[in-house]
Amino acid sequence: MDHFNYRDGLLYAEDVPLTRIAEEVGTPVYVYSTATLERHYTVFADAFAGMRASVFYAVKANSNIAVIKTLADLGAGADVVSEGELRRALAAGVPPQKIVFSGVGKTREELAYALDVGILEINVESENELELLNAVAGEKGVTAEIAIRVNPDVDAKTHAKISTGKKENKFGIDIDRAVDVFRHAQSLTHIHPVTVASHIGSQLTDLDPYRAAFTRLVALVGELRAAGIDIKRLDLGGGLGIPYDGEEPPLPDAYAALVREVVGDLDVELFFEPGRMIAGNAGILLSKVLFEKHGEARRFVILDAAMNDLIRPALYDGHHGLKPVKEPSSDADWTPADIVGPVCESGDTFAKDRLLPRFVDGELVAFTSAGAYGAVMASTYNTRPLVPEVLVKGDRYAVIRPRQTFEEILGAERFPDWQTDDGGGRMAAVSG
């Protein structure tokens, strides 16, 4: 469910017409719904009522600090994968003791910062990282409470580029070696292993892979406890899918029922790290039709949004619905079209042979389900400024990230001293 619906012939975000945002902020622009964010978080968290469960929003899905704060105000913690995301979570008001730090390649500096601010837990993903963390914690005279992420070798049946739980994926420690690694971790002076963590992939639409992975984790916890390692927590990750193109992913209640069935008797605190499920359908990318182009064999709808703004279709064939902001009439002429952007790449194609009504130049359209892995993966390719982000609440909206300017892009760059008269490496100049 989301809060982007037609009203009196126009598409609204909650109680704000998208035409108003386009007029006042311009396009392209990301638009997020507070009501949808709140509803999705609440539905997920409530599914685990009666269990010792904590929800840590996966910041990588949408890292705008206003989005993080919206969820933190409801009680969400944060799952971060870099020092930058950790700083975002803190800036949004997430308490350090409600932050977990995941990621396969943490640096010494990132580990040191995490220890300095006192986050709840660091999820270790390799033996080398374990040794590094022990050394950094020793330098600071502290003991790091950790999870060890294990790879259960389960096929999540999702896209290859978002699969994380198979042996050939880079994430986690092979589950067959987990007991030995936990034993070693327990022997280290400045490490306290208390959690088994796992995450098998993203955009899962079937509960069977979860059942297989969780069953293996339950067996592992039994082995670890038999070996004298006191496991207090089980971090089951995120990955629950959303309906991009007619998929019917499991509802949180069904997912929670599976968790209760498989791990309910373990006597552990449960951690969950949903991202896409919370933010995905809470956002759209609002764009404008520049013009239609008709070739001998193709109809092209050329937008002012491009692959640098929304890269999912180019990166891994991600599907996004496209809605005209002006509701089409019942007798509209719908014909196949390729939806493309202005970037100088053939890959700058959002969809092919999509049935769409005819558009006039300047007409507004909205890419649906764009709240996750949209703005966070945007770039300035072709020196296209990063687009703004807007958060709607009822009949109000606020710009929560302004549109980047050309002055900001060029002003961040420098000439080397041999290209300047004064040798000062002055900023690149830009004319307005």
83 and 135 both lie in a single domain = yes
Identify the top-confidence range among 145-154, 201-210, 398-407: 398-407
304 and 382 both lie in a single domain = yes
Percentage of the chain lying above the pLDDT 70 cut:
94
158 pLDDT above the threshold of 90: no
217 pLDDT above the threshold of 50: yes
CA gap 313, 160 in Å, rounded? 14
According to the model, what pLDDT value does residue 35 have?
Answer: 98
What SS3 state is found at 419? helix
For residue 211, being part of any structural domain is answered with yes
According to the model, what pLDDT value does residue 105 have?
Answer: 92
For 47-86, letters b (16+ CB in 10 Å) and e give bbeeeebbbbbbbbbbbbbbbbbbbbeeebbbbbbbbebb
163 and 23 both lie in a single domain = no
Task: Tell me the average pLDDT across 39-48.
Answer: 98
pLDDT band at 144 (very low <50, low <70, confident <90, very high): very high
Percentage of the chain lying above the pLDDT 90 cut:
87
CA gap 74, 66 in Å, rounded? 13
270 and 288 both lie in a single domain = no
Task: Tell me the average pLDDT across 149-173.
Answer: 61
271 and 337 both lie in a single domain = no
63 and 135 both lie in a single domain = yes
What CATH code is carried by the domain that includes residue 82? 3.20.20.10
Total tally of structural domains belonging to the chain? 2
166 pLDDT above the threshold of 70: no
What CATH code is carried by the domain that includes residue 307? 2.40.37.10
pLDDT band at 172 (very low <50, low <70, confident <90, very high): confident
According to the model, what pLDDT value does residue 157 have?
Answer: 54
- pLDDT tens for residues 328-343? 999 999 999 999 999 9
Tell me which residue range forms the domain holding 237.
34-278
Of 249, 278, 307, the position where a domain reaches its end is 278
Given 1, 344, 355, 429, the catalytic residue? 344
According to the model, what pLDDT value does residue 59 have?
Answer: 98
Task: Using alpha carbons, select from 77, 99, 61 the residue that is nearest to residue 275.
Answer: 61
214 and 202 both lie in a single domain = yes
429 pLDDT above the threshold of 70: no
Task: Tell me the average pLDDT across 357-362.
Answer: 96
Catalytic: 344?
yes
According to the model, what pLDDT value does residue 162 have?
Answer: 41
According to the model, what pLDDT value does residue 164 have?
Answer: 43
For 192-203, letters b (16+ CB in 10 Å) and e give ebbbbbbbbbbb
52 and 121 both lie in a single domain = yes
- pLDDT tens for residues 244-293? 988 889 999 999 999 999 999 999 999 999 999 999 999 999 999 999 99
- pLDDT tens for residues 53-102? 999 999 999 999 999 999 999 999 999 999 999 999 999 999 999 999 99
The continuous run of DSSP H or E covering 53 comes out as strand 53-58
According to the model, what pLDDT value does residue 427 have?
Answer: 53
- pLDDT tens for residues 289-308? 999 999 888 999 999 999 99
Of 212, 244, 278, the position where a domain reaches its end is 278
310 and 217 both lie in a single domain = no
CA gap 284, 31 in Å, rounded? 5
296 or 191: which carries more pLDDT confidence? 191
For residue 428, being part of any structural domain is answered with no
